[in-house]
């Protein structure tokens, strides 16, 4: 009787490349960590005072809240607009899909600085509850920025299910459009919607150019401010924001994940 072969261990070259990738990722984090533990007065290791400084800073919480709410708003608006649109395109006018895909590339191609100048010009003179508020103008700009990520995630999700058959099955059972969308289509593209939402969240939490030029005080603006004015606390802030973004993604995952979801979030489509 032959012995059961042990599972093949990783090839040495694979280990090497993995390690290299890991180092590339972790060394900056590690040095930032060491940096952030130095005292702002003496420059000596090791103290947690910098973290205390960040946590007790009112601006930190304030801007963090703004950015987080902005991210949620961007996600909500994007999903509300793009899910039905992409559904409709897949179902009724598949010829428009390539058109949408090329439209979705525009935010990649147009530099943010050009975009923000254009948008500011275009919306000049709109009511101040829109123009002067992050919830208006800035969220609008972020929906545009998030469009490519939302589109390609959702598009992959819709392509992974049989939109036509599922819709027709649902209709023949008596369901209206809204019922079909919420009960049949959405649950089956949930992981794609989640993937798009993650990306939108990451973008909004880190967007600097537009917020700066449009003069809104968001979290990235605060980080930049601390970077310029404080030494070691900036390191602490960087690490904290890194952790916060990941935590936010984690909570999105928890919200979005319910029983019956099998598809992995990372593949987007599942």
Partner 1 sequence: MAYLELQNLQREFAGGVRALDGIEVQLGQGEFLSLLGPSGCGKTTALRLVAGFDRPDEGRIVIDGKDITNVAPSKRDMGMVFQAYSLFPNMTAAQNVEFGLKIRRKGKGERSGRVGELLELVGLGHAGDRYPHQLSGGMQQRVALARALAIEPRVLLLDEPLSALDAKVRVQLREEIRRIQLELGITTLYVTHDQEEALAISDHVAVMYRGRIEQIGPPAEMYSRPATPFVAEFIGTMNRLEATVSDPTSGTVEHGGVTLTVDAARGRTKGDRILVLIRPETVELAPENGSNPANTLSGEVIAQTFLGPVTRLKVVGPGADLIADVSTAKAATLPIGMKVTAALPVTDARVLELSDEGFEIAEEPGQAGR
Question: Is 179 among the residues that bind partner 1 (CB under 8 A)?
Answer: yes
Name the residue nearer to partner 1 (CB basis): 110 or 173.
173
Q: Write each residue from 223 to 262 as x if it is in contact with partner 1 (CB under 8 A), else as -, in one continuous string.
A: -------------------------------------xxx
Told to check if 94 binds partner 1 by CB under 8 A, we report no
CA-based R_g, the chain, Å: 23
Q: Out of 106, 169, 255, 266, which residue is the one contacting partner 1 (CB under 8 A)?
A: 169
Rounded Cα–Cα distance for residues 20 and 1 (Å)? 41
- What is the C-alpha separation between 177 and 183, in angstroms, rounded? 10
Residues near 86 by beta carbon (within 8 Å), at least 6 away in sequence: 100, 151, 154, 155, 158
Question: Residues 62, 65, 92, 183: which binds partner 1 (CB under 8 A)?
Answer: 183
Scanning 114-122, 171-179, 204-212, 241-249 for contacts with partner 1 by CB under 8 A, the matching segment is 171-179
Query: Which one, 53 or 88, has the nearer CB to partner 1?
Result: 88
Nearer to partner 1, 101 or 173 (CB): 173
Which residues ranging from 102 to 161 are in contact with partner 1 (CB under 8 A)? 161
Q: Give residues in contact with partner 1 (CB under 8 A).
A: 161-162, 164-166, 168-176, 179, 183-184, 187-188, 260-262
């Amino acid at each position: 009787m032959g012995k059961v072969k042990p599972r093949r261990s990783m090839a040495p070259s694979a280990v090497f490349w993995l390690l290299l990738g890991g180092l590339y990722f972790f060394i900056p984090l590690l040095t930032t960590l060491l940096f952030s533990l130095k005292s702002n007065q003496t420059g000596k290791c090791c103290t947690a005072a910098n973290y205390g400084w960040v946590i007790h800073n009112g601006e930190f919480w304030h801007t963090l809240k703004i950015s987080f709410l902005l991210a949620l708003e961007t996600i909500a608006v994007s999903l509300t607009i793009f899910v039905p649109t992409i559904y409709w395109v897949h179902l009724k006018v598949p010829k428009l899909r390539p058109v949408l895909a090329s439209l979705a590339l525009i935010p990649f191609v147009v530099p943010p600085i050009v975009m923000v100048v254009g948008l500011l010009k275009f919306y000049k003179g709109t009511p101040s509850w829109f123009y002067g508020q992050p919830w208006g103008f800035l969220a609008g700009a972020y929906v545009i920025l998030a469009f490519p990520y939302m589109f390609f995630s959702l598009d992959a999700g819709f392509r992974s299910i049989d939109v036509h058959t599922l819709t027709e099955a649902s209709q023949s059972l008596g369901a209206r459009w809204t019922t079909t969308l919420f009960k049949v289509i959405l649950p089956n593209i949930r992981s794609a919607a989640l993937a798009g939402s993650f990306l939108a969240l990451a973008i909004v939490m880190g967007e600097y150019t537009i917020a700066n030029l449009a003069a809104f005080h968001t979290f990235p603006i605060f980080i930049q401010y601390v970077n310029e004015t404080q030494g070691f606390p900036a390191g602490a802030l960087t690490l904290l924001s890194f952790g916060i973004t990941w935590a936010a993604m984690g909570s999105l995952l928890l919200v979005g994940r319910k029983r019956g979801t099998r598809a992995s979030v990372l593949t987007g489509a599942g």
